[in-house]
Structure 1
Amino acid sequence: MMSSAVLQEAQPTGIVGELYARFPGEGLVEQATADGMPTLWVPAAKLLAVMKTLKRELRQPYRMLYDLTAVDERQRQHRNGLPVADFTVVYQLLSIERNADVRIKVALSGDAPCCPSVTGLWLNANWYEREVWDLFGIRFEGHPHLVRIMMPRTWDGHPLRKDHFARATEAERLVMDQARVEREQEALKIDPAEWGMREVAEDHDTMVLNLGPNHPSVHGVFRIMLQLDGEQIVQAVPDIGYHHRGAEKMGERQSWHTYIPYTDRIDYLGGVMNNLPYLMAIERMAGITVPSRAQTIRVMLCEFFRITSHLLFYGTYAQDVGSMSPVFFMFVDRQKAYDVIEAITGFRMHPAWFRIGGVAADLPNGWERLVREFLDWMPKRLKDYEKMALKNTILKRRSVGIGTYSTQDAIDWGVTGPGLRATGLAFDWRKARPYSGYEHFDFEVPTGNNGDVYDRCVVRVEEIRQSLRIIEQCLDHMPSGDYKARHPLTTPPIKDRTMQDIETLIHHFLNVSWGPVIPAGECTMTVEATKGLNSYYLTSDGGTASYRTRIRTPSFPHLQMIPYISRGLMVPDLIAIIASIDFVMADVDR
């Protein structure tokens, strides 16, 4: 397997070859990576030209800015001839037409690096660039509002730089004297003009209203600053960062194995589905092949968590548009699903049960009966909910035609998952790029027609039915064999071998106490998570912990679209839109 830090010497092909042909002699450098994604280093001066070509000038363009992040390269040892850089800005673009990605990198030097902004090309670049500025101190020339997004404005330093402390015990003692209190209070004041709120007319007053950050309708610590003309929304400005816990920074100080429980807490409704892209990236870099039984067990548990997450969405969505009863019924069904999950994994919401190379243990005796009972129970409940909620005339009047956007709009804003499929595009990662054996399962990809609040609900309801189909196939066709790979970097090794030979015992001791040593490289792996596409972009420097852990979550770009789809509507419409997005703030802020 080629390290991610090895440059390609063969003649470039594919999209890299296209770009070489369009920009000959411009200093473009191809890089091989463990995930096989086309990766190209581009000089900062040529970035906008290359990005414009990728988005607008190719026959099958890369229209979605899927992710934008950075790496502090200053302590990295295994770079093997890569362009000299103190910092690297990394762009990942997605082409639906090609069903392919491309990774663009820009090398930057100095303690105050600067890079051209791509906000003129991609609408959702705004928040991504603000995040990189906030956490790395990389300035984006031409950005319309480059201010902190995760950290308080009074924060000193940029937390994802390698020289920034990782633990509170490493920081200076916090003293909240009167001067600091006044400074913090001053920083909390809102200047409406700074956030794009303008007077409608000199003789016409509007009101600025804070919705959140603590309010049931915003589903977490999330604030939206509203400029209202009566009850009509003139401007809506999302404000995030209240739930930021430094999850990516934690990845630098936990071993590859001990970081697994942290992933459960990202989309905290997705459970073990959060483990999967992280472990898939490690397994790809380490060359570990997961046994088919372990892959099928993973699929079954992921689909159980898709059901529990969608049921919570279904109930709270109905509640937000005025129906109180459904949420209580749906919580009953979630508990039935959690009973099965607990019987298999030992835990309910956050099992952290997947492991490097497979899962923590084999399926317990009697698991088939529990799964079958749930499969027999759930379909008739969905029929009851359809009568109670989806066909309810009040719910339909509150949601049909509200918060509408097109497929093109969704791609421009980086929307994935049910929010994208509600516009009519049947793009599901499990079908487009099957992983963990999804290619062996028979299921449909539900889509909507109008891309409105109602369609986003209908798509998720049908996805519950498809998840039940997948689980039934797991039940009927569960492979035999190991629940975990027998590779030396599998952590921990299969239990029944640990006391049988000294080599396995040594691997167990080292891999658990110290951590497995993953070969130097970098890799992105993606799953179709409960709320959209979730990816882990991991960089290994050949050690026992990740050099850089990037978590690309679906909810982050989804919330950025709120101003676009809510202007001109009423406040109750905004509540319905928020409910239909289906997000959790831990998934946004990390």
Structure 2
Amino acid sequence: MDQTVVRSESIPKVRPAGSAPAPVQEVRDDVETLWVSRETAGDVLTRLKRSAPTRMMLFDITAIDERQRTHRAGQPDSDFTIVYHLMQFDRASKAPHREVRIKVALLMASLTMPSMVDIWPNANWYEREIFDLFGIHFSGHPDLRRILTPPTWTTHPLRKDHYARATEMKPYDLTEDREFAEQEALRFNPEAWGMQRRSANSDFMFLNLGPNHPSVHGVFRIVLQLEGEEIVEAVPDIGFHHRGAEKMGERQSWHSYIPYTDRIDYLGGVMNNFPYVMAVEQLAGITVPPRAEMIRVMLAELFRLASHLVFYGTMSQDVGQLSPVFYMFTDRERVFEIIEAICGFRMHPAWFRIGGVAADLPQGWDTLIRSFLDYLPKRLDEYEKLVMRNRLFKARTVGVGAYSLDEAIEWGITGPGLRACGLDWDYRRRHPYSCYDQLEFDIPVAQKGDCYDRVVVHIAEMRQSLRIIRQCLDQMPGGPVKADHPLTTPPPRAKTMHDIETLITHFLNVSWGPVIPAGEARACVEATKGLNSYYLVSDGGTMSYRTRIRTPSFAHLQMIPLISRGTYIADLIAIIGSIDFVMADVDR
């Protein structure tokens, strides 16, 4: 596949006067990509933000260890590369979607980069993640310390010279002295966490919410500074669930990594496979058959229903209602019955494949789905009375944890949390992928951006998912469910005995996986909790050179301090529930 050339005239004038033109990189996706120097990066990002006709979000920051990469033709010399991904959010529904990728080359002798926290506040955690996993220092950062690994960790796991498997290390040994040192490192120091005395006549009072509190939906800790029951400061502490998912992408073949993606947003199932396989398909130039595209969309929307039902039930439980969660989990089981009938598995089917899906739809699939489509709307009507009209539920959520649209953009909020602020922005509509451009659906919005409105948007999205699934049911095309492409579909086994070349091709595809052409590409989907993106770098091998997973939950938890200050502990429980996150999606 020919690489897409990003034209320099499509990028705004962001260079300082008198500077040399920024080199424009050829990429395999549709993201405008250019290199800038470390000295001008802050100015470039500021100008891009200010020159945007509407709101420009800092969507992601990541890094690449370039030291073992061989295919870098046309790119500046670099030992490590910082990558900024910007996304523009426009109110006009027909406005062209725009994304920009800014890259900065760093040499090993000077792994330092200016912090961008003063431009976008959500750069905070992304820069801490890069510092932790790559060892790149961000000057001017307000709180540069490890975020995903323990404070006693001494190496940087995403560097290429770091081991990828535990078998490459000596057996773990925990001596008494080391155990004491590890425990001492976990001792809480309020000043080191940025907490200060509020007034001359008050002192610190702390409360640990988590890491195993029922309301934190996983292994998550929030350290609260309190005055009475009022929250003065809240500092999230993540990383308890970190498993090195991006590192695993460097040791698995392109195909065998698919099941690992299921475990990121573990409530999203094949929704995790979606952006990964689409990014690989862009790198390889694979066109997915129409039937496979529609099957993917139908399964993705079924998992959106399953995930939203979990959110709906646990959110109502968090604020004191016990009955709804049992009813809603029963409905989720009905969704899983359909998913199991089609995929063979329930929560983690790993059913999408590079170039299509694992198998065709089974006999009777349409009857199962049609019955469910007739069943769920009536149940949602009942839940409307049971939960949303309940005066106690409304008292706990209306006006609580609100943020404005501008604040949402500044902090990288996407998905239902963004649409609850009144912006009808949905990636399925603004940058259609798969077959969403062939389907009719509305984009639910609310106005206040509080806990209650975030629930309202989730519920309305469930009804739209039912609408999308019905269209897939009625319009399902015929044809193959996997692309007829040598990098995704090996020759039929029956033909392998005809000649040695066919046998070798089949053997290599099955055992080692495909050799994906060198290049870079990203794919993004409107996942269950917001925008989920995979940015892949291929060096022309059977495994990914760099796998970057941008998840919505990581960005969303950063906003907890902003929307919880001045509230009460009980309000924080409602705020946490309304964010809709899972910790595997945060920590990866």
TM-based fold match above 0.5: yes
Partner of 1:322 in structure 2?
320
Change (3 A) 1:286 1:411: same
2:93 aligns to what? none
The 3 A distance-change label for structure 1 pair 409 and 60 is: same
Kept in 2, the 8 Å contact 1:277–1:527? The answer is yes
Alignment-derived partner of residue 117 in structure 1: 115
1:63 to partner: Cα distance: 2.1
- Give the counterpart letter for 2:482 in structure 1: K
Moved more, 280-289 or 493-502: 493-502
Equivalent residues of 2:420, 2:454 under 8 A apart: yes
The alignment partner of 1:30 has SS state of: coil
Residues 396-545 of structure 1 aligned to structure 2 (within 5 Å): 396-491=394-489, 506-545=504-543
- How far apart, CA to CA, are the structure 2 residues paired with 1:546 and 1:315? 38
Does the Cα contact within 8 Å between 1:344 and 1:363 map onto a contact in 2? yes
- Supply the AA of the counterpart residue of 1:432: R
Question: What code does the residue aligned with 2:212 have?
Answer: N
Q: Once the 2 structures are TM-superposed, how far is the Cα of residue 112 of structure 1 from its aligned partner? A: 5.2
Query: What is the deviation of 1:28?
Result: 1.6
Larger mean CA deviation between 489-498 and 330-339 belongs to: 489-498
Moved more, 489-498 or 211-220: 489-498
- Between the aligned partners of 1:501 and 1:432, the Cα distance in structure 2 is 48
Q: 1:127 and 1:333, CA in 2 relative to 1: closer, same or farther beyond 3 A?
A: same
Matched, 1:94 2:90: no
Paired amino acid for 1:536: Y
Which range moves more in the overlay, 206-215 or 70-79?
A: 206-215
**Structure 1 equivalent of residue 170 of structure 2:** 172
Match of 1:19 among 7, 14, 39: 14
Q: Which whole-Å deviations, capped at 9, do the CAs of 1:383-425 have from their partners, x for residues lacking one?
A: 1111110111100010000000111110000000000000000
Corresponding letter in the other structure for 1:544: T
Shift in Å at residue 59 of structure 1? 4.6
Identity %: 63
Indicate the RMSD between aligned Cα atoms, in angstroms: 1.7
Task: Quote the residue 1:214 is aligned against.
Answer: 212
Q: 2:70 aligns with which of 56, 74, 77?
A: 77
Deviations 1:486-523 (A, max 9, x none): 01111456788778987665443212201100000000
Cα distance in 2 for partners of 1:361, 1:542 equals: 28
Q: Secondary structure at the match of 2:14?
A: helix
String of CA shifts for 1:94-114, please: whole Å, max 9, x gaps.
111352110000000015500
Say whether the 8 Å CA contact 2:52–2:88 is kept in structure 1: no
Aligned equivalent of 1:35: 29
- Which stretch shifts more, 344-353 or 496-505? 496-505
Q: How many residues in Structure 1 have an aligned counterpart in Structure 2?
A: 583
Structure 1's 63 and 445: CA in aligned 2 closer, same or farther, altered over 3 A? Answer: same
5 Å matches for 1:87-486? 87-97=80-90, 99-110=97-108, 113-486=111-484
Give 1:170 shift. 1.0
> What SS does structure 2 have at the residue aligned with 1:488?
coil
Contact 1:520 1:541 in 2 (8 A): yes
**Cα distance in 2 between the residues matched to 1:493 and 1:91:** 40
Q: State the distance in 1 between where 2:135 and 2:454 align.
A: 37
Partner of 2:561: 563
Can you give the 5+ residue segments of structure 2 that lack an aligned partner in the other structure? 91-95
Deviates more, 1:67-76 or 1:29-38: 29-38
Per-residue CA deviations over 1:537-575 (Å, capped at 9, x if unaligned) read 000000000000000000001000000000000001000
**In structure 1, C-alpha distance between the alignment counterparts of 2:341 and 2:496, rounded to whole Å:** 25
The 10-residue stretch of structure 1 (522-531 or 190-199) with the greater mean CA deviation from structure 2: 190-199
Gap regions ≥5 residues in structure 1: none
SS of structure 1 residue aligned to 2:44: helix
C-alpha change, 1:461 and 1:504, in structure 2 (3 Å) is farther
**Cα distance in 1 for residues equivalent to 2:331 and 2:167:** 43
Instruction: Give the letter for the 2:9 counterpart.
Output: T
Amino acid at match of 1:18: K
For residues 425-466 of structure 1, what are the alpha-carbon distances to aligned partners after superposition, in whole Å with 9 as ceiling and x for unaligned? 000000001101100001100000100000000100010000
TM-score normalised by L of structure 1: 0.96
Secondary structure of the structure 2 residue equivalent to 1:68:
strand
Counterpart secondary structure, 2:108: coil
| SS in structure 1 of the partner of residue 424 of structure 2 | coil
Letter in 2 for 1:401: G
Partner of 1:52: 46
Whole-Å separation in 2 of the counterparts to 1:125 and 1:271 = 28
> 1:355/1:59 Cα in 2 relative to 1: closer, same or farther (>3 Å)?
closer
Cα distance, 1:573–1:499 mapped onto 2, change above 3 Å:
farther
For 1:546, the aligned partner's letter is S
| Aligned residues of 2:493 and 2:506 also touching (Cα < 8 A) | no
**In the superposition, relative to structure 1, how do residues 497 and 37 fare at CA in structure 2: closer, same or farther (>3 Å)?**
farther
Counterparts in 2 of 1:23 and 1:549: CA distance versus 1, 3 Å: farther
Does the aligned pair in 2 maintain the 1:71–1:89 contact within 8 Å?
yes
Distance in 2 (CA, whole Å) between partners of 1:510 and 1:35 is: 27
My pick for the range that moved more, 173-182 or 469-478, is 173-182
Give the aligned residue type for 1:158: H
Distance across 2 between alignment mates of 1:354 and 1:493:
19
Give the whole-Å Cα distance in 2 for the aligned partners of 1:24 and 1:266.
Answer: 46
Name the amino acid aligned to 1:433. H
For 1:231 and 1:210, locate their aligned partners in 2 and report how far apart those are by CA, in whole Å.
13
| Alpha-carbon shift at residue 173 of structure 1 (Å) | 2.7
Amino acid at match of 1:518: I
**Aligned equivalents of 1:249, 1:196: Cα separation in 2:** 31
Distance 1:496 1:62 in 2: 56
